[in-house]
């Protein structure tokens, strides 16, 4: 009845790999994305029964995938690639990332100029850092329904969606605080004043 080891034993395989020119890593006959910054660079791959985690040489997390079984499959995590795509936004329609976008984002991006595409992709990158594509799709839908479509407005909708304003509780004053009298506003006095004819002297 000895106590269990306080440090859990993690069953995994840990190995070094070289990413290809697209930043992808081959593992057990399948490709896993890392980041375009890691193209032709060494990365560490930590493999468990259900996950494949890719780290840089300083052991910092790059991306985590669900493990693929079989051969010739590919798992892409697009977030690290969005910043690179924003530098050549006109080519986005020819990427697998565009195919995976929700319909409202496809329609929205297809109508934008090159510079506006870049801004939209960076806004999308900001949202996907903390939330999934469903939230980004909802934020775009709210923005377009309000009659605006710029990237800043999309981010404003996203922040309203994910950080709703909290209701302020009424301030509780101590009993020794002087109570100010309340005033009832009556705008009829101003209406009567404006209805009179001005006298010029």
List, for residues 54-113, the tens digit of each pLDDT value. Answer: 999 999 999 999 999 999 999 999 889 998 899 888 888 888 889 989 999 999 999 999
Residue at a domain's end among 75, 92, 120? 75
Query: 101 with 154, same domain?
Result: yes
Buried b (16+ CB within 10 A) or exposed e, 98-124: beebeeebeebbeebeeebbbbbbebb
Residue at a domain's end among 22, 50, 75? 75
Query: 116 with 141, same domain?
Result: yes
* CATH code for the domain in which residue 32 is found: 2.30.30
Residue ranges making up the domain that contains 33: 13-75
Query: 145 with 116, same domain?
Result: yes
* Count of the separate structural domains present in the chain: 2
- pLDDT score recorded for residue 175: 75
In a domain, residue 5? The reply is: no
Query: 85 with 146, same domain?
Result: yes
Distance CA 14, CA 47 (A): 6
Report residues of the chain scoring pLDDT below 70.
Answer: 165-168, 196-201
Query: 55 with 85, same domain?
Result: no
In a domain, residue 33? The reply is: yes
In a domain, residue 167? The reply is: no
Distance between first and last Cα of the chain: 105
- pLDDT score recorded for residue 200: 56
């Amino acid at each position: 009845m000895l106590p269990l080891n306080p440090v859990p034993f993690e069953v995994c395989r840990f190995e070094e790999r070289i990413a290809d020119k697209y930043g992808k890593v081959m593992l057990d006959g399948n490709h896993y994305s890392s980041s375009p910054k890691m193209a032709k660079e060494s990365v560490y791959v930590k493999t468990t029964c259900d996950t494949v985690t890719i780290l840089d040489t300083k052991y910092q997390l790059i991306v985590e995938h669900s493990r693929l079984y079989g051969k010739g499959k590919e798992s892409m995590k697009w977030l690290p690639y969005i910043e690179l795509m924003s530098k050549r936004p006109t080519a986005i329609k020819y990427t697998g990332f565009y195919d995976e976008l929700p319909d409202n984002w496809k329609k929205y991006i297809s109508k934008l100029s090159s510079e506006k595409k870049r801004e939209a992709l960076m806004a999308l990158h900001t949202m996907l850092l903390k939330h999934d594509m469903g939230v980004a799709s909802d934020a775009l839908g709210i923005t377009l329904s309000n009659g605006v479509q710029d990237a800043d407005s999309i981010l404003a909708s996203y922040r309203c969606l994910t950080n709703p304003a909290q209701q302020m509780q009424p301030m509780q004053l101590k009993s020794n605080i002087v109570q100010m009298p309340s005033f009832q506003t009556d705008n009829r006095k101003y209406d009567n004043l404006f209805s009179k004819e001005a006298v010029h002297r």
